[in-house]
Amino acid sequence: MNNSTGSTSTVQAAGVNIKDLRKSYGSNEVLKGISLTVEPGQVVCLIGPSGSGKSTLLRCVNLLEQPNGGTINVGEFEATDPDVDLNRMRRNVGMVFQHFNLFPHLSVLDNCTISQIKVLKRSKSEAAEVARHNLERVGLGHLADRFPDQLSGGQQQRVAIARALSMDPQLMLFDEPTSALDPETVGDVLAVMRKLAHEGMTMLVVTHEMGFAREVADRVVFMDAGVVVEEGPAENVISAPTQPRTKEFLRRVLDPTHIDVVED
């Protein structure tokens, strides 16, 4: 497939603008004033140790988590406006979960059509056509009639991506999409995401895949303990970090066998 003529060409890409975002669970503040911009068509990767708030930040963007303060703009929508039409906004925001969350009682095809039919009010045949096209895009057109439990983890995640794409989103959120996968299926999922990035999809990706981040991301944001520690072009943040915490994190991630004699 030609990179520049993706089927998303008719859908405009949306950007994200986050200002001073705060989120607490009880007295535990997990996001301490995050500001972040994703330009339309950009790919931004969020990296950082577990518990740093990356996933919470991502889940705030489509209001799966309710922020306690700050503003989030997604395209034309102000997500943090109490009067925002959440259901309408979420149609434009594709979400891919760590554990796929496919609907186990529906076939692969029905997973990709149900929301088109019930939410976008597309006809069954139109929805099926869109779904098949997107299943082809992720390389799984031949599995349309299977059920999720008959697929490998990597295949399930690619179906989840096709399901999100079938709503013609202007923005895609990925929450550690490869963390629950067997190592040998990670590559297929990353390949699909790489293709989407090249087609001009706006993407906000929480990931531990440093290779993917370095290669695909326009910008990388390093978070720790609820704040953005460092951000910039992927090359700079991953290959030449300036902050001690970033250096420490990357040293651990890129060389997991390294034994830290002082701390352990």
Partner 1 sequence: MAMTARQRAKVSLYVQAGIFVVAVAAVILAVDWKTIGTSVFNFSKIGPMFPDIFLVGLKNTLIYTALAFVVGLSGGLLLALMKLSSFPLYRWLATGYIEFFRGVPALLVFIAFGYGVPLAFGVQWDVNIVVMVSLGMVASAYIAETLRAGLQAVPKGQMEAARSLGMPHWRAMISIVIPQAFKIVLPPLTNEIILLTKDSSLIYVLGLTASQYELTKFGRDGISSLGAGLTPLLVAGAFYLVITIPLSLLARKFESRSARTKR
Q: Which residues bind partner 1 (CB under 8 A)?
A: 62, 64, 87-88, 90-91, 93-95, 97, 99, 101-105, 114-115, 118-120, 148-149, 160, 163-164, 167
Rounded distance between C-alpha atoms, residue 214 and residue 18, angstroms: 23
Comparing CB distances to partner 1, the nearer of 3 and 150 is: 150
- The least CB distance from residue 172 to partner 1, in Å, is 11
Give Cα 221 distance to the centre of its chain: 14
- The least CB distance from residue 231 to partner 1, in Å, is 26
Comparing CB distances to partner 1, the nearer of 118 and 247 is: 118
Q: At a CB cut-off of 8 Å and minimum separation 6, what does 164 contact? A: 94, 95, 96, 172
- The least CB distance from residue 118 to partner 1, in Å, is 6
- The least CB distance from residue 36 to partner 1, in Å, is 20
Residue (of 260, 253, 257, 261) closest to 49 by Cα position = 253
- The least CB distance from residue 237 to partner 1, in Å, is 28
Comparing CB distances to partner 1, the nearer of 13 and 234 is: 13
Comparing CB distances to partner 1, the nearer of 93 and 229 is: 93
- The least CB distance from residue 120 to partner 1, in Å, is 8
Comparing CB distances to partner 1, the nearer of 104 and 244 is: 104
Rounded distance between C-alpha atoms, residue 216 and residue 195, angstroms: 10
Rounded distance between C-alpha atoms, residue 160 and residue 119, angstroms: 17
Q: At a CB cut-off of 8 Å and minimum separation 6, what does 147 contact? A: 104, 106, 107, 108
Residue (of 142, 187, 193, 190) closest to 172 by Cα position = 193
Comparing CB distances to partner 1, the nearer of 102 and 221 is: 102
Alpha-helical segments (H) within 92-173? 108-118, 124-137, 153-165
Determine contact, residues 171/94, Cβ cutoff 8 Å. Answer: yes
